[in-house]
Structure 1
Amino acid sequence: LPAVPCQGHVAEFFPHLFLRPEAMRHYGLGRFPGRTIYSYERRRPFLELLRGVASGSRPLRELLEVRGLEEEVEGVISLMEALRLDRRTLYPGINVPNLGVISNLPPWATVEAPAYVDASGIHPLSLGSMPTALTGVMAQRLAQYEVTIDAALTGDRELALQALLIDGYLRSIDAAEEMLDDFLDAERRWLPEYWFS
C-alpha cells in the first residue's frame, strides 16, 4: 500500500523549493500554513467552539457542522469509533513510532504510515526500506529533531541554534539567532527557567 502525501507535505523537506518563488509557482506550492487548515486565521473563529467542546459545555455536533473541518473531524471520529467499537479500519496515514515500520530509519523516529486501527490499538503496516535518496533527506530531518530535543531538555542555546540551522529555511546564523531570541522572548512564561540563567 503506497503512502501518498500531498505536494506541500513532501515539499516541506526541501526548503530550497520554498525559498525560490519560481519553484513554488512551478510546483503549485504555497507558503505554510497559507490557506491550509493549519492557518491561524482559519482556526481563530473556531477557538471558542473547540474550547467549549473540550470542556463539555458545547456539543460535539457543533464541531461536525463547521465547514472546512469536515475531513479532520470525520477522521478523528472514525478513529475513535474504530478504537472504541472495535471496527478494524485502515487509515492511509497515522503518526506512529517507527519500530520497524520503515526498516532503514531509527526506531525512535515518528513516521506517518498506513495502519489498521481497532480496539486493541494502532497497527502500522511494515513498509520495508526507504530509497537511499530519501533516507538522506530524512537523516537530516531526524538529526534536527534530535538536536531540538536535546536543546529543549538542557536549555542549551548553541544546540537550539544548530537545530534552526539544520532546518534549511534560514539563510544565515544571524537570522537564526534573531529567530531564537524572538522565540525565547515570546515563549518566556512557558519555558523552564534554565533557558534564562
Structure 2
Amino acid sequence: MSLELLGRVHKELSITGGAFYEAILAISERVNRKVQIIRLHWHASTLLQRMEHLTGEVGQQIVDQVSRRFLARNQPDSTLSMLDATLTQATVRVHELKQLLVQVDAQIRELKLEAIHDDLLRLQRDLSLRSAGIERLSITRGAAAVGQSISAMPRSSSVHIAAILRGPFLLAPAEELVFRSDDIVVLIGIQSDLDQFITWFTSRPLKTPTTKSA
C-alpha cells in the first residue's frame, strides 16, 4: 500500500470521525436543551403551586381573623391592622413569584427558539441535498398574486404552500383563499421551480404595450 493511499485513507477517516463527533455534539445539545426545558416547566409549575398555596393561606387567615373579631367584640380591635399586614405581605410575595415566573417563561421561550432554529437549519440542509428549498415571501403591493386565489397559482408538481400568514393569523391554504398584499407565503419545493414563483408573489405584472391605430 503506497504512502499516498495511506494518506487518503487517513484523511477520509479523519473527516468521517470529525462528522461523527459533530453529530454526537449536536445530539447532546438537543438532549440537553430538552432537559432544560422540562426542568424549567417543572419550576414554573412549582411557582404556580406556591402562588395558589399562598393565596389559599391568605384567604384562610382573613377568615380566621374576621371570625375572631366577631367572637371578641369587647376586646381591643386590631383585626384591621392585622388584615392589612397580612395582605401587604401576601401581595409582595405574590409579586416576587410572578417576577420569577416571567423570568422562567422567558428562558423557556429562548430555548424553544433555539430548538426551532436548529430544526430549520436541518430542514434547509436536507432540502438542499435534494436540490430543494424553502422560501418565505412577502406579497408586495401590485404583485400578480394580489387578488388571486390559490387555485390561480402557476402550476408546479414540486412546489407546495407550507403556510400563509396574515397579520397575527395562520391561514389554511384552501384553494379559494385570495392573496392580499403583505401576506407572508411559505413555499417548499424544488429550488429551480421556486425561483419562478418569486416573481409572481413579489413583482408587478408587465404591462402589455398598446398599439396605436392608424
Bucket of the pairwise TM-score, normalised by the shorter protein: under 0.3
Q: Highest relative contact order (Cα 8 Å, sep 6+), 1 or 2?
A: 2
Query: Which protein is richer in helix relative to its size?
Result: 2
Whose Rg is larger? 2
Query: So what's the TM-score if we normalise by structure 1?
Result: 0.20
Query: So what's the TM-score if we normalise by structure 2?
Result: 0.19
